[in-house]
């Protein structure tokens, strides 16, 4: 059995376990890394090399900085201010809800953003006598869209950039995602305000129904709110400037350390704010991606896809197919896992066509964040399920249209910003 076939068998098992979640995601990823090491596809000493990757450090730092905004109460304060400014009409509230969710999740956790803003939205809905079911799903969708705007907004963006770097290509810049993230966010808000809202249920919630907050503010000290906001802005500014003296991961860790030293959150809160599933999932998939490249498995898949599409398909068609595949997978499995699974395949296919992989990788990453059509596709969707009184089909009805809108916008914008055949 060739190394490529062995790698594909491991990849198949990993993909099956990702989709079914019969085994925890992090264990599946690390198990896959161990398997390719034991099978001799990669050196056994490289099995845990993903844990030393600078991207893992970047993840950890940004998780802590984002948590500081919630623990100080800054995120909740921003949410209340923006939503009240936009009024209490259904459309006005929806616009404000999605806008602040998108802005916050562009630089912090979309799960934390949703959890922090949910009680704010519920309170305003109660006062304005608007069913919460008309606003909570847009909140989750806004958080999902906003994550696309920056490199650190959502794990798929960092993974796509990391895959390009690992392949010896130019990685995506910090604000490069904004070229597609901002148009998608605008299109998503417009869709929900004029089409999606008609597909939402009008579930009335009882007055005594309570929700359990996943993230609770421990302090509403104005000074600490200001400090956490300044730290976040400073870190984002340093990252955006792309200073060679201060790499992204160093900026993130400095910011995280400052958040603890200034009392914006306690040491234990900093540790607990790190999403270890994302850390180990990413670290486990890195060696598998290496195995796909070194064994030739990625090229095998790429050749199969190209032949299936007619042997010499247009890069736009390939991009559309990979977008649909990534968006389909992310409805039922981790967006991090979907990106990590498809990124090396996308690079191989693009190289086989002689096209720039950047457009293909951007499509895969964006599609992985379009987990709108099921309640299990992304944590924000799951968070609003109970409080919104939603059923599975409510997500299918409102979310599928948003996925289609995202596909259309992506196929228009991506080839313009990242040409398949850039001029040399």
Q: 25-75, pLDDT tens digit by residue? A: 789 889 999 999 999 999 999 899 888 877 778 778 888 887 888 888 887
Q: Which structural domain range is residue 87 located in?
A: 3-417
Determine, yes or no, domain membership for 424. Answer: no
Identify which of 272, 275, 286 has the alpha carbon closest to the alpha carbon of residue 30: 286
d(Cα 165, Cα 179) in Å, to the nearest integer?
20
Determine, yes or no, domain membership for 165. Answer: yes
Determine, yes or no, domain membership for 379. Answer: yes
Determine, yes or no, domain membership for 242. Answer: yes
Average pLDDT, the chain: 85
What is the phi/psi pair of residue 388, to 5°?
A: -85, -10
Residue percentage of the chain with pLDDT more than 90: 36
User: Is the CB of residue 227 less than 8 Å from the CB of residue 244?
Assistant: no
Length of the chain: 424
Tokens of 389: 């009184």
**Domain count along the chain:** 1
Determine, yes or no, domain membership for 279. Answer: yes
pLDDT tens digit sequence for 64-83: 887 888 888 887 787 778 77
Determine, yes or no, domain membership for 422. Answer: no
Determine, yes or no, domain membership for 173. Answer: yes
Residue predicted with more confidence, 335 or 127: 335
Tokens of 332: 């039922």
Residue found by looking up tokens 């993840």 in the block: 59
List CB contacts of 255: < 8 A, sequence separation 6 or more: 61, 64, 65, 231, 232, 234, 235
d(Cα 380, Cα 373) in Å, to the nearest integer?
12
pLDDT tens digit sequence for 153-175: 888 998 999 889 888 899 999 89
Determine, yes or no, domain membership for 134. Answer: yes
């Amino acid at each position: 059995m060739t190394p490529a076939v062995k790698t594909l068998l491991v990849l198949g098992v990993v993909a099956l376990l990702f989709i079914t979640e019969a085994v925890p995601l992090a264990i599946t990823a690390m198990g896959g890394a161990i398997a390719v090491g034991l099978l001799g596809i990669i050196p056994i000493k490289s099995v845990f090399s993903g844990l030393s990757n600078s991207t893992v450090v970047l993840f950890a730092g940004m998780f802590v900085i984002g948590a500081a905004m919630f623990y100080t109460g800054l995120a909740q304060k921003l949410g209340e201010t923006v939503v009240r400014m936009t009024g209490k009409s259904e459309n006005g509230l929806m616009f404000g809800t999605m806008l602040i969710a998108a802005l916050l999740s562009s630089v912090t956790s979309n799960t934390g953003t949703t959890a922090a803003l949910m009680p704010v939205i519920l309170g305003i809905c109660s006062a304005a006598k608007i069913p919460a079911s008309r606003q909570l799903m847009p909140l989750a969708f806004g958080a999902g869209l906003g994550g696309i705007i920056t490199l650190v907004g959502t794990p798929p963006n960092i993974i796509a950039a990391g895959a390009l770097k690992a392949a010896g290509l130019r990685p995506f810049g910090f604000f490069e995602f904004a070229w597609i993230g901002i148009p998608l966010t605008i299109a998503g808000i417009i869709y929900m305000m004029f089409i999606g809202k008609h597909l939402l249920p009008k579930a009335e919630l009882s007055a005594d129904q309570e929700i359990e907050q996943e993230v609770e503010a421990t302090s509403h000290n104005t000074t600490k709110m200001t400090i956490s906001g300044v730290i976040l802005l400073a870190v984002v500014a340093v990252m955006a400037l792309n200073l060679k003296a201060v790499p992204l991961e160093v900026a993130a860790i400095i910011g995280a350390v400052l958040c603890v030293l200034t009392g914006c959150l306690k040491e234990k809160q900093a540790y607990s704010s790190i999403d270890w599933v994302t850390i180990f999932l990413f670290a486990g998939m890195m060696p598998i991606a290496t195995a796909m490249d070194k064994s030739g498995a990625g090229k095998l898949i790429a050749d199969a896809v190209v032949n299936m599409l007619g042997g010499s398909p247009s890069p736009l068609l390939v991009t559309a197919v990979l977008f649909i595949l990534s968006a389909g997978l992310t409805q039922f499995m981790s967006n991090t896992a979907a990106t990590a699974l498809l990124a090396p395949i996308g690079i191989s296919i693009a190289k086989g066509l002689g096209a720039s992989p950047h457009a293909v990788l951007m499509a895969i990453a964006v599609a992985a964040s379009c987990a709108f059509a099921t309640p299990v596709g992304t944590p924000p969707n799951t968070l609003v399920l109970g409080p919104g009184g939603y059923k599975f089909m409510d997500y299918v009805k409102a979310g599928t249209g948003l996925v289609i809108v995202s596909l259309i916008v992506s196929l228009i914008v991506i080839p313009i910003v990242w040409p398949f055949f850039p001029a040399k």
